[in-house]
Amino acid sequence: MYKILSKKPLNGSVTQMEIEAPLVAKKARAGQFIILRVDADGERIPLTVAGCDAERGAVKIIFQIVGATTAALDRKNAGEHICDFVGPLGVATHTDGIKKVCVVGGGVGCAIAMPIAQEFKRLGAHVTSVIGFRSKDIVILESEFAACSDKLAVMTDDGTYGQKGNVTQPLKEWLDGGEQFDTVIAIGPLVMMKYVVATVKPFGIPVTVSMNPIMIDGTGMCGGCRLTLVRDGKRVTKFACVDGPDFDGYEVDFDEAIARGKMYCDFERAAHEKACNLYKTAGGDR
């Protein structure tokens, strides 16, 4: 069992927790993830490591309440326990030799982008960050990005906070103005990452995207997290849990990934509603 050390809501649907997991805290690096189960009968879900405190043995996770399992996790409070917390899994983000980086985060994807930006800053790189949200009420982690970024743009679709527009706008303005980056790292909704890649491609700058498809076992055996890459005209299958989650954005078949990501939306929505109704019937509250 793994103890919840702290719990903090970041907005109405996103929660931050610290989990007591000393071995994970000692080994995890930026870009890696864990797989947890809330209870013995629950499903396995992957969550990115949003930060570690090796001295305290604490691992930070940030999750959006979108399905039955994340709703069950959110009902847990500090001092309570979850069943499983396995990791670190996946390949850490490549940082060697990168002196100037642009990190682009969208929505809850900022929880993944933040520790990567922090790691680059720790290593002495010049960090430019762009974070985007639908509106002011769901902005998260702005102060954390401000602390680790030499330059930061905050975007909202409706203009209620920061600049109005999407994350590709300042990125294109900087590139058109002659800004140079060793690499661009994009993390967020698949459509957002697809358009970040399209924006950067004319400038020939490498783009890394973080792919988070459905995962089950986290070891590459189930095949649930498979992705199609296109290399030299050939289609290659990779698995996000062991080969990623970072991939060359120019190689990812985003259209296929988007289609696969929608396969279980109705099922997950129904499971979420069922779990919430059962919890309300039992007299629980958030």
pLDDT at 162 over 70: yes
CA distance 211 to 213: 6
**Whether residue 142 is found in the same domain as residue 236:** yes
Return the closest-CA partner of residue 255 out of 170, 190, 188.
190
Q: List pLDDT tens digits, range 53-107.
A: 999 999 999 999 988 899 999 999 999 999 999 999 999 999 999 999 999 999 9
Asked, for residue 64, whether it belongs to a domain, the answer is yes
In sequence order, the β-bridge partners of residue 235 are 230
**Residue 149 contacts residue 117 (beta carbons within 8 Å):** yes
> By CB neighbour count within 10 A (0-12 exposed, 13-18 middle, 19+ buried), where does 284 fall?
exposed
Residue closest to 68 by CA, chosen among 216, 276, 217, 277: 276
28 falls within a domain: yes
- Asked, for residue 269, whether it belongs to a domain, the answer is no
CATH code at 52?
2.40.30.10
- Do 65 and 122 fall within a single domain? no
Q: What is the sign, positive or negative, of the torsion defined by CA atoms of 162, 146, 34, 197?
A: positive
Lowest mean pLDDT among 37-41, 143-147, 208-212, 240-244: 240-244
Which has more pLDDT, 120 or 223? 120
Residues with Cβ < 8 Å from 47, sequence gap 6 or more?
A: 33, 34, 35, 36, 61, 62, 63
pTM for the model: 0.86
Q: Which of 34, 68, 89 is the last residue of a domain?
A: 89
Residue that finishes a domain, picked among 89, 122, 140: 89
State whether 231 and 176 are in the same domain: yes
Token code pair at residue 67 = 């399905």
Do 112 and 181 share a domain, yes or no? Answer: yes
Is 280 a domain residue? Answer: no
279 has pLDDT over 50:
no
CA-based max dimension of the chain:
60
Domain contains 182: yes
**Percent of the chain with pLDDT strictly greater than 70:** 91
Determine contact, residues 167/131, Cβ cutoff 8 Å. Answer: yes
In tens, the pLDDT along 216-256 reads 777 777 777 888 899 988 999 998 888 889 999 999 998 98
What's the CA gap between 285 and 251, in Å, rounded? 45
Number of H helices, E strands in the chain: 9, 16
What DSSP letter does each residue of 102-165 carry, written as one string? Answer: EEEEEGGGHHHHHHHHHHHHHTT-EEEEEEEESSGGG---HHHHHHH-SEEEEEETTSSSSEES
Q: Indicate whether 15 and 81 sit together in one domain.
A: yes
pLDDT score for 286: 41
Burial class (CB in 10 A: 0-12, 13-18, 19+), 283: exposed
Same domain, 66 and 104: no
pLDDT at 263 over 80: no
Q: Of 44, 60, 89, at which residue does a domain stop?
A: 89
CATH at residue 194? 3.40.50.80
Instruction: Tell me the pLDDT band of 150, cut-offs 50, 70 and 90.
Output: very high
Residue 67 is predicted with a pLDDT of 85
39/161 same-domain check? no
pLDDT band at 281 (very low <50, low <70, confident <90, very high): low
Amino acid letter, 167: V
| Residue 279 CA neighbour count, 13 Å, CB half | 17
257 within 8 A of 211, measured Cβ to Cβ: yes
Are residue 118 and residue 253 in the same domain, yes or no? yes
Residue 255 and residue 115 in one domain: yes
Provide the domain limits for residue 20.
2-89
- Is residue 94 in some structural domain? no
Q: Are residues 257 and 135 in the same domain?
A: yes
125 and 26 both lie in a single domain:
no
Q: Are residues 105 and 242 in the same domain?
A: yes
Residue 272 belongs to some domain of the structure:
no
Q: Give the tens place of pLDDT for each residue, 172-220.
A: 999 999 999 999 999 999 999 999 999 999 999 999 999 986 777 777 7
Q: How many domains does the chain have?
A: 2
Among the ranges given (36-40, 71-75, 213-217, 272-276), the one the predictor scored with the smallest mean pLDDT: 272-276
- Return the amino acid letter for 269: R
**Domain annotation covers residue 62:** yes
